[in-house]
Amino acid sequence: MGRNKGAAARRKKAGAFVRKGNAPKVNAEAPRPCPSLSPDLLANIHDRLRFLDRVAFAAVFASSCDNDLFKPEPWLLLPCDKPETVQLFSIADRRGATVPAPEPALRDHLIVGSSRGWLATADDRGQIYLVNPSTGEQHELPHMSTMGVFLPRTNYHYFSLKNEPYLTIRYGHGPPFHEHRDAHARTTTYAADQMRKWFYRKVVLSSSPSCPGSYAVMLITEWRTGAPVFASADDPMWRLAPSPDGVEDAIHHDGQFYSVSYTGVVEAWERDADSGAYTSTPVAPKLAVEEHKGEGGEPSCRKYLAVAPGGRLMVVIKYPEVVKERYGSDKWSCAFKVHVLGDDGHWKETSDIGELALFVGVNTSLCVPTIGRPQIKACCIYYTDDELGPAELRKHSGRDNSDLRAVGVYSLKDGTLKKMEALGKEQRSFYPPPAWITPSIP
C-alpha cells in the first residue's frame, strides 16, 4: 500500500489531518458575478469540460445565478487498475473521467461511505479517512481503539472486541444477551485488514469537513454487531450508542441522523450536549418486512433509507433471488420494493415514485429528480453490491461472476432488472464494488 510518510505533508491537529488536493480552491467568500450568458450556453460549456474543471466551473457560476443547471448528480466510482488514479462515470451524461487519487486516502483503500461529495475510506490497518476526490482534501477520523470496547494493544494488527461491555451498551443492559451469536465468547477478534470488510458497514457524514469543527460522523457496523458509533470534529473519540434491533442503514437529513433497523424501525438520533452520547427515538410505525435469514443467519434482504426532494422519508428494500435457468444452473437476481412515509405518519408501498430515481448501495442511498436528465430513468432504482467482505469471497472463489450483482437498474413499474447500459464495455463484475458519489462544489 502506498502511504505518505513525509512529515512536511501532514498537519496533525486534534486527531485529524488535512491535505491540499490537486484541483484549485475556490474562495467561497469572494464575489461571484453572474455571467451574462444564456442557460443553454452555460450548460453547453459545462458539458465540454473535464471532471475537475466542471466542478470548478459550477463553483464559480452556479451559486451566483438564478438557475439550477448545475445540480449535483450521482457519478459511479469504479475500481481502477492504476492505484494513482480514480475512474468516475456520469450516469446522467454517459461521460467518464480519470482523476488523480489523493494519497493516502484513495490508494488501496476500500470505500465505506459516500456523503455530500466526500468519501469515507478504510485502510488495511483499520483506520478511516474522509476524502473529497474533487479537491484532494482529506481528514483522518479517530482511531477505532477510542471506542473503549477493544482490548488495548501496543499496535493494532488485531482488534479484539470485548463482547460483554459492547453488548451491554448495545442492548442497554447486562447479560444474558439472548440469541446473540457472540454472547458466550469473551472476545471477537478481527485482523486489522478485516475491519473494513467485516466490521465496518457504512459511514454517514453530516456536513462537509471543509468547515473546521462543523461535522459529525455515524458509523454503522455490520449486522452481527449492529450498533452505531458516532464521532465528531470536536470529539477525539468514537462513541458507541444503544440499538437493540441493530442499525442497517442511515442518512443525515434536516440536521439529524436517521436510521432504519434490521427489524424495520426508522429512528432519529439526538446528541446530548453535555455527555456527547447519542440516543434514538422512533419516528414512524414499524415497517412490515418479508424477512428471511440466510445460511449464516444474516438478513436475506437489504434495507436502504433515503429522502425525497420534498422531505419525505423512503425505505427501499432489496430482495435477492436465485433464478433457475435451463440445464439446472442458477442465476442471481433481485427485486425491490419502495415504502414512502405519508402525511398520516404511516408507510405506503408504491411502485410509482414519479419523476424520481433512487441510487442505493452499501456506501450511500439517495433520491434524485430525473427532469432535465434524460439519461437517468424515472421510477428506477440504480444499485451496486451490498457488502465488501462477501464480495471479496465471491471474487476469490470464482463462484459468482454475475454482472447484475455488481451494478444494475431495476424498474419499479414493470419489475425488470437490467445491466446499466450507460457503462457499455465497462460493465463487468467489480471488486471492490462500485460506489456512488455526488461531487461537491468546493
Instruction: Concatenate the DSSP letters of all residues of 421-440 into one string.
Output: GGGGGG-S--SSPPEEE-PP
**Residue 206 Cα distances to 17, 113, 115, angstroms:** 18, 12, 8
65 domain residue, yes or no:
yes
C-alpha cell at 374: 434524460
- 338, burial (CB in 10 Å: exposed 0-12, middle 13-18, buried 19+): buried
Q: What is the pLDDT of residue 68?
A: 46
pLDDT of residue 7: 35
**How far lies 289's CA from each of 130, 264, 275, in Å?**
33, 7, 35
5 found inside a domain: no
Predicted pLDDT at 213:
73
Q: Look at 43-47, 114-118, 274-278, 309-313 and tell me which has the smallest mean pLDDT.
A: 43-47
Average pLDDT of the residues in 306-316: 95
Residues recorded for the chain: 442
Read off the pLDDT of each residue in 33-44 and give the average, rounded to a whole number. Answer: 63
Give pLDDT tens digits for 165-193.
Answer: 999 999 999 998 887 888 889 999 999 99
What residues contact 186, with CB distance under 8 A and at least 6 apart? 162, 163, 164
For residue 200, which of 265, 96, 124, 148 has the smallest C-alpha distance?
Answer: 124
Torsion of CA 20, 21, 23, 29, to 10 degrees: -40
Q: Note the pTM of the prediction, 2 decimals.
A: 0.84
Report the alpha-carbon distance of residue 381 to residue 379 in Å, rounded: 7
pLDDT of residue 399: 61
The count of other CB atoms within 10 Å of the CB of residue 63 is 13
Average pLDDT over residues 56-80: 62
Count of structural domains, the chain = 1
Q: Could you tell me if residue 233 is inside a domain?
A: yes
For residue 84, name the pLDDT band (cuts at 50, 70, 90).
confident
C-alpha–C-alpha distance, residues 395 and 390, integer Å? 9
Residue 114 has pLDDT above 80, yes or no: yes
pLDDT at 366 over 90: yes
Is residue 301 situated within a structural domain?
yes
Contact 381, 408 (CB under 8 A): no
Name 382's Cβ contacts closer than 8 Å, sequence gap at least 6. Answer: 74, 91, 357, 358, 359, 360, 376, 407, 408, 409, 420, 436
Q: Is residue 302 part of a domain?
A: yes
β-pairing, 365-369 vs 356-360, is: antiparallel
Q: Nearest-CA neighbor of 329 among 407, 400, 416, 420?
A: 400
- pLDDT value of position 118: 92
409 domain-assigned = yes
Distance, in Å, from the CA atom of 191 to the CA atom of 383, rounded to the nearest integer, reads 29
User: Phi and psi at residue 350, in whole multiples of 5°?
Assistant: -145, 150
Helices (H) and strands (E) in the chain, counts: 5, 29
Q: Dihedrals φ, ψ of 340, to 5°?
A: -115, 135
Residue 7 placed within a domain: no
Would you state the pLDDT for residue 64? 47
User: Average model confidence (pLDDT) for the chain?
Assistant: 82
Average pLDDT over residues 249-267: 96
**Three-state SS at 51:** helix
Helices within 296-416 (DSSP H only): 389-397, 403-406
User: Which is nearest to 404 in space by CA: 289, 297, 318, 306?
Assistant: 318
Residue 20's pLDDT is: 36
Is residue 2 situated within a structural domain? no
Give the range among 137-146, 242-251, 272-281, 419-428 with minimum mean pLDDT: 419-428
Residue 233 vs residues 105, 203, 254, 353, 383: alpha-carbon distances, Å: 18, 14, 19, 36, 31
What's the pLDDT tens digit per position in 376-401?
A: 999 999 999 888 888 888 777 766 55
- pLDDT value at 286 more than 70: yes
328 or 334, greater pLDDT: 334
Distances (CA, A) of 18 to 12, 102, 305: 8, 12, 30
- Whether the pLDDT of residue 328 is over 70: the answer is no
289 vs 116: which has the higher pLDDT: 116
Supply the pLDDT for residue 47.
Answer: 65
In contact, 351 and 338? CB cutoff 8 Å: yes
pLDDT at residue 327 greater than cutoff 50: yes
User: pLDDT of 396-438, one tens digit each?
Assistant: 776 655 667 888 999 999 999 998 876 765 545 567 888 999 8
User: For residues 304 and 249, is the Cβ–Cβ distance under 8 A?
Assistant: yes
More confident residue, 227 or 21: 227
Which is more confidently placed, 43 or 82?
A: 82
Q: Give pLDDT tens digits for 193-249.
A: 999 999 999 999 999 898 777 899 999 999 889 999 999 998 889 999 999 999 999
Instruction: Give the range of the structural domain holding residue 193, as residue numbers without chain letter.
Output: 15-28+37-437
Name the pLDDT band for 29 (thresholds 50, 70, 90). Answer: very low
**Residue 136 has what pLDDT?**
85
Residue with cell 463484475: 429
Complete DSSP assignment for 80-127: -SSTTEEEEEETTTTEEEEEE--TTTTSSPEEEEEETTEEEEE-TTS-
What is the average per-residue pLDDT within 92-99? 78
